[in-house]
């Protein structure tokens, strides 16, 4: 249920606070933006206005015990809401009273299906929990987590990317925080989701994913669930297939590859709101690489994946050099 006059932390570290106005109207306020709507049970249907980018749109927020999940779209006309937004109560803290109580239900299904940001936050919570344990207790806790995750992914193939992210983040946590648990990469998943380099160069990742999973472009365009499923499959093949390009040790090719997906060179898929770009960059961020840390102009040439050269306000080349340096040495 909604908690009024209480800050919710959103993805960029900002907070949004909800208050009740006249006749039960719910208002929300955060940096450069406001929203107004009515509450039905635990669902707030509202309109938002973002003054910074001069946009208005529709948003539907579902509240739960620890925060909220939301979907939104630009414009006030009815239509699919493909944008995702999550918030967590700022007062929500992890409590570990005893080692016996730490082996809890990880609630992976909800956190994963709520989006990359939600899963990433849950993963951070799990790793912080495990860090407080020692030896056998820590190994047991992480074994339990990966068992839950593997079981979920085996029944929901489109979310395979979450397993790869969890392994990578745990390995990094091991190096930086004197962690006792050492996960291993899943070679079976790598073989299943990693497209070979020649296929990527000749057809492009989006076309390969659609063909491999027998998806239909018109259904992706017209059905929100189909679009979200497509994004998840794309994320899974992407996070494994970059291994093929990393092996070439060519930052310019990796930059072109990432940018070609972000700019959606496959014209049969409609993506005016840039959800594909947001998803891919969110997956890379959860994997440990944040493009926002690489401000600077960059020219990306058309060699394998783009028809024309493009300019970016982010330094994709240096960004990709860091990705290659990190993955190539594993």
Please report whether residue 124 resides in a domain.
Answer: yes
How far is CA 49 from its chain centroid?
24
Same domain (yes/no): 213, 297: yes
Q: Which residues, 6 or more positions from 140, have their beta carbon under 8 angstroms from its beta carbon?
A: 103
Same domain, 208 and 313: yes
Q: Which of 36, 54, 89 is the last residue of a domain?
A: 89
Query: How many domains are there within the chain?
Result: 3
- The DSSP line for 48-79 is EEETTTTEEEEEEEEEETTEEEEEEEEBSS--
Domain annotation covers residue 1? no
Q: How confident is the model at residue 329 (pLDDT cuts 50, 70, 90)?
A: low
| Residue 25 located in a structural domain | yes
Residues 104 and 147 reside in one and the same domain: yes
Dihedral of the alpha carbons of 128, 134, 137, 143, in degrees to the nearest 10: 60
CA gyration radius for the chain?
21
Same domain for 135 and 54: no
Separation CA 58–CA 35 (nearest Å): 9
Whether residue 269 sits in one domain with residue 206: yes
Q: Identify whether the C-beta of residue 181 lies closer than 8 Å to the C-beta of residue 142.
A: yes
Q: Write the pLDDT tens digit of every residue in 89-133.
A: 765 433 333 333 444 457 778 889 889 999 998 899 889 888 888
- Work out the angle at residue 49's Cα, subtended by the Cα atoms of residues 48 and 51, and round it to the nearest 5 degrees: 155
The answer to whether position 183 is within a domain reads no
Last residue of a domain, one of 58, 89, 120: 89
pLDDT digits (tens, 9 = 90+) for 36-62: 999 988 899 999 998 877 889 999 999
Regarding whether 203 and 258 lie in a shared domain, the answer is yes
E-assigned strands of 218-286? none
Residues 269 and 215 both lie in one domain: yes
Q: Residue 32: inside a domain, yes or no?
A: yes
Question: Does one domain contain both 262 and 168?
Answer: no
Q: Are residues 104 and 165 in the same domain?
A: yes
d(Cα 165, Cα 176) in Å, to the nearest integer?
A: 16
Q: Is residue 154 part of a domain?
A: yes
Q: Are residues 316 and 227 in the same domain?
A: yes
State the SS3 of 123-192.
HHHHHHHHHCCCHHHHHHHHHHHHHHHHHHHHHCHHHHHHHHHHHHHHHHHHHHCCCCCCCCCCHHHHHH
Domain boundary (37, 59, 89) is at 89
Q: How far is CA 50 from CA 243, 274, 314, in A?
A: 38, 17, 24
Tally Cβ neighbours within 10 Å of residue 34.
15
Summarize pLDDT for 259-301 with one digit per residue, the tens: 988 765 667 888 888 899 999 999 999 999 999 999 988 999 8
Question: In terms of domains, do 246 and 312 share one?
Answer: yes
- Note whether residue 167 is domain-resident: yes
Element spanning 193, H or E: helix 187-193
Evaluate whether residue 188 is within a structural domain: no
Domain that holds residue 240: 194-328
Residues 204 and 276 in one domain: yes
CB 40 within 8 A of CB 50: no
What are the tens digits of pLDDT across the range 16-41?
A: 999 998 888 999 998 889 999 999 88
The pLDDT of residue 199: 95
Question: Counting every residue, how long is the chain?
Answer: 330
For 223-269, how does the pLDDT look when each residue is reduced to its tens digit (9 = 90+)? 999 999 999 999 999 999 999 999 999 999 999 999 988 765 667 88
């Amino acid at each position: 249920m909604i908690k009024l006059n209480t800050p919710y932390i959103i993805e960029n570290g900002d907070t949004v606070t909800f208050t009740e106005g006249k006749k039960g109207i719910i208002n929300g306020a955060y940096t450069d933006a406001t929203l107004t709507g009515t509450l039905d049970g635990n669902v707030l249907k509202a309109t938002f206005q973002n003054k910074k980018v001069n946009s208005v749109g529709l948003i539907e927020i579902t509240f739960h015990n620890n925060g909220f999940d939301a979907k939104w779209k630009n414009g006030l006309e009815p239509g699919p809401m493909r944008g995702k937004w999550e918030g967590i109560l700022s007062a929500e803290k992890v409590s570990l009273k005893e080692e016996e109580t730490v082996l809890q239900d990880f609630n992976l299904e909800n956190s994963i299906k709520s989006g990359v940001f939600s899963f990433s936050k849950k993963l951070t919570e799990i790793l912080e929990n495990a860090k407080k344990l020692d030896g056998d207790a820590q190994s047991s806790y992480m074994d339990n987590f990966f068992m839950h995750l593997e079981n979920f992914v085996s029944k929901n193939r489109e979310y395979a990317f979450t397993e790869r992210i969890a392994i990578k983040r745990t390995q990094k946590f091991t190096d930086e925080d004197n962690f006792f648990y050492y996960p291993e990469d899943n070679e079976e998943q790598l073989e299943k989701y990693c497209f070979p380099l020649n296929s990527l160069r000749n057809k492009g990742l989006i076309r390969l994913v659609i063909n491999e999973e027998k998806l239909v472009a018109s259904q992706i365009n017209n059905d929100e669930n189909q679009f979200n499923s497509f994004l998840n499959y794309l994320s899974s093949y992407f996070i494994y297939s970059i291994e093929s390009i990393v092996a070439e040790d060519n930052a310019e090719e990796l930059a072109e590859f990432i940018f070609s997906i972000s700019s959606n060179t496959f014209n049969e898929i409609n993506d005016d709101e840039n959800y594909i770009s947001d998803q891919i960059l969110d997956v890379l961020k959860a994997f440990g690489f944040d493009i926002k840390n690489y401000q600077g102009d960059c020219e990306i040439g058309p060699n394998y994946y783009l028809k024309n050269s493009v300019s970016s306000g982010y330094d994709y080349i240096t960004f990709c050099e860091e990705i290659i340096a990190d993955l190539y040495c594993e």
